[in-house]
Structure 1
């Protein structure tokens, strides 16, 4: 069954005819408000809480795989609220079985047609992988598992000792994770059918801006792209 057909009634207007492009516009607009210090804090009022409680279900319109870094909360930097984003966070966005399973649930069961892999500048997880790459010493235990996952993504990035090498590795890791997920069982069929789009993006802590790293042409918002109001009956 198609994602749009599985979507809950209260988000049907969003998924029907707009899907991933429309959702990306909403995320872009929310990030613009965040970085210009004009957030609207949508879907965070008492009515939204009551609506979610009464519905006894969740119907987010996008999935986000972000880093566990405390400086990069997706709901804040996209200026969204309760029930809007299905968010999974892991150090360096490394997609182990738990992360992948959670994302499959978000796409398959919650019908989110856009999955954003959100890397960020100054990522300490990638920094640890860079150190391991340069020294040949990988940490033991759980940290070693995470570092090794990132090493797969950055080992071919040219290292000329420049200050922007870390940024280049962050980008490479983000794109690599997005590509991994496109081939993940439970996701690849939806990617191939066009029901799901997986896009890598990079958040700059300094500039507060989300930059999309995919090769799709920029999608410019139309006249109906304003963020919906906070009334519980509205679409996300």
Structure 2
């Protein structure tokens, strides 16, 4: 997105991300906003059009898979996109201070953090160190997914991404208020390691073809 462009709304931001991902999948990436001029224009501030909360996996770099450049995306990453207070604070900064209209929870297939959580539940043995904290934060998603009959890792990854997207406005009053005011939408996406494509799992963006209520006739 050009620095001279107006900030798009949530639907426009998602469309921009999906268009960039299509370019990436087709090996036709434009590599926008990655030159010296773009760098110099950002010294006075930033206006990213989307916030990506994704997994720290090295194969899922947001700016690359969505074909974006400097200043386009505000990115927060943890293993298994586990949510802690620092994550919530970072997202609050993005949506409240920077006015970003779209938060994307980005999961991916074969997630190692989800796999570690599944193995801990199956074996009854928790990992050592701070990996235990990650497993604890992902445990509710694994439990809920299995309660709904999902046993495969990619089914659980999808359930986890959707659950995180639902929990963000519940856990943060700032995020919840922005959503209630219609200033923020939250979308869960899943990235496929094999072909690089993303698909929408859940979205709070109103569908443009949804029927409007009938007007009241006096």
TM-score class, shorter: 0.7 to 0.9
- Report if the CA contact (8 A) 1:25-1:219 is conserved: no
Contact kept in structure 2, 1:21 and 1:219, CA below 8 Å = no
Deviations 1:90-136 (A, max 9, x none): 00001101111011001101110000000001110001011012112
Structure 1 unaligned residues grouped into runs of 5+: 1-8, 221-236
The answer to whether structure 1 residue 172 and structure 2 residue 159 are counterparts is yes
State whether structure 2 residue 120 is matched by structure 1 residue 127.
no
- Greater relative contact order structure (CA < 8 Å, 6+ sep): 1
Which residue in the other structure is 1:230 paired with? Answer: none
Deviating beyond 2 angstroms after TM superposition, the runs of 4 or more aligned structure 1 residues are 156-159, 215-220
Alignment of 1:14 with 2:7, yes or no, is yes
Q: TM-score, normalised by structure 2?
A: 0.88
Of the candidates 24, 29, 40, which is equivalent to residue 39 of structure 1?
29
Report Cα offsets for 1:9-43 as digits up to 9, x if no partner: 944x233xxx0011111001000000110000010
Residue in 2 that maps onto 1:6? none
**In 1, Cα distance between the equivalents of 2:207 and 2:24?**
20
SS in 2 for 1:89: strand
Task: Indicate yes or no: 2:144 matched with 1:156.
Answer: yes
Matches within 5 A, 1:185-224: 185-214=173-202
The runs of 5 or more residues in structure 2 that have no matched partner are 210-218
Deviation at 1:218, TM superposition (A): 6.6
Secondary structure, counterpart of 1:14 in structure 2: coil
